[in-house]
Structure 1
């Protein structure tokens, strides 16, 4: 009887896990499926496309022009107004309308590179600063060390919506608004401030697990503090450092609120979250292209996790226990 109950529990457990996996994975499968369809087939039933195509990806990458199938309401109204004009007056107006039906491909690559630049650079600088800051917290004794280390996490007590207006006013007063380049620099500073506290905390806890005797031996051999950090601390802390980098990169890659405030007036400096939002209100607002853009947006994150997985697994519990 006990064995039968345990088998039943195991079956129910695995069925629940299977249902949960399907519930989580299905939206991604549907997104991938729609991205390989024609516009007219976007809502066809079934997961496997009946007529697979890569048109949406080619348009996003600029390899194929994006063409509107219908005239806009403004263009239709203009056609109604000019239909009674003489033919020689209609021709230049009609030529202008129909020549504009072929639009420039949605600048996905530009938005992609902007996000990659700001997210990659801010996460890299955050990790570099955190390594030195966390080492100071974990190894150098100075008055107020514990208080300072704990207080850096206070920034997470305030949500982004609360900080948005004060931060914008600060950047306006110091002259860090007014063009797209200044907006990107402002975003860089904000992402740095958002990621530094937890990066310092995670790396500080991990550095404490490294025996100080290793450093003492290096000091006896004549090594400097910089040498200890670069030749001992960083190699031994690689799992935690990779974890912190992925965390910081994800914040910059997915952040929308501050990007919508600082770079909204400058389309050529849009990051992916802003660009993907704009696609819903443009001539390119079609489901296949939106799903293709979503798939391509997730690719860097997937690649990052796959390449760093062995370090990430070791770093997830890094600093969790102080021995």
Structure 2
């Protein structure tokens, strides 16, 4: 006998869903709203801006010159002091103040480029290594295979704050600190190490669902192990592979702790998390521009999820069914 659903239970369920969606979506909606406002009305009430503008996005993307609307305290004091100076001297000092206001105060493009480079490369290399490693774990027998397969997950027993000092000392000893490029190489290695364990685990489980008879037939036809991986394993494992790439990319894209250790001292190599944090606590803290930068920062990850949603769903549910 099928019981009729209570109308009160249905109303309660959907009310809870609506509250949850609003709770999750409102901060992002407010961030988008502030990004389309002028600096002077960044904190006006409501989600819909009264005077919407695209200036903040145009400035961040380099299509429009960025000029700070407000003078710093030092610049105001300097303007007052030069009033008693000769006209030529006044013109020189005021020109320097104007040039300082036009100076790039929010190098978003540089932050974005650095993060995209380090996140994309580390995710790609992590994916390549994990494909080969996961195939070895799932198809090739060797002494201690089970121990090694479980041992790679031990890295997650230790938090980043515990590993930060030892890792920094290691990279100092091998000469991968002291400059921006060396710091980026250190981050590249760390991000690969961070993402490899789960990548190996996810791909290994997926590879086990692929019938070995397909590979055996290819090997009988003369294919090598690498040929099997390239022509059979990778095409049949695209959902899991894309899932692993997105996971590795997100880890590197949002990572802050190790970036603050290895590249904070080199502004030309700041990643987005470091750059945005520096801007928040600097004299250039302009809320509309910072919210626009935050929106642009979320676009790559959101775009990856939207483009690869069907593959991502397949990858997340992979490994649950065995042959």
With normalisation by structure 2, the TM-score equals 0.95
How many angstroms does 1:93 deviate by? Answer: 2.9
The equivalent residue for 1:211 is 211
Aligned equivalents of 2:50, 2:209: Cα separation in 1 = 56
Name the SS of the counterpart of 1:319 in structure 2.
coil
The equivalent residue for 2:116 is 116
Aligned equivalents of 1:70, 1:52: Cα separation in 2 = 20
Aligned equivalents of 2:30, 2:15: Cα separation in 1 = 22
Name the SS of the counterpart of 1:115 in structure 2.
helix
The equivalent residue for 1:66 is 66
Q: Does 1:300 align with 2:300?
A: yes
Of 69-78 and 290-299, more deviation after overlay is shown by 69-78
The equivalent residue for 1:53 is 53
How many angstroms does 1:170 deviate by? Answer: 0.7
Q: Is this contact kept in 2: 1:66–1:284, CA < 8 A?
A: no
Q: Does 1:158 align with 2:158?
A: yes
Give a deviation string over 1:226-285, Cα, whole Å, max 9, x none: 111111111111111111111000000000000011011111111110111122134431
The equivalent residue for 1:201 is 201
Q: Is this contact kept in 2: 1:64–1:105, CA < 8 A?
A: no
Aligned residues: 322
Name the SS of the counterpart of 1:163 in structure 2.
helix
Q: Is this contact kept in 2: 1:240–1:318, CA < 8 A?
A: yes
The equivalent residue for 2:133 is 133
Q: Which ranges in structure 1 are unaligned for 5 or more consecutive residues?
A: none
Q: Which ranges in structure 2 are unaligned for 5 or more consecutive residues?
A: none
Name the SS of the counterpart of 1:210 in structure 2.
coil
Name the SS of the counterpart of 1:100 in structure 2.
helix
How many angstroms does 1:88 deviate by? Answer: 5.1
Q: Is this contact kept in 2: 1:130–1:203, CA < 8 A?
A: yes
Superposition CA RMSD, Å: 1.7
Q: Is this contact kept in 2: 1:62–1:106, CA < 8 A?
A: no
Output aligned runs, 1:259-270, within 5 Å. Answer: 259-270=259-270
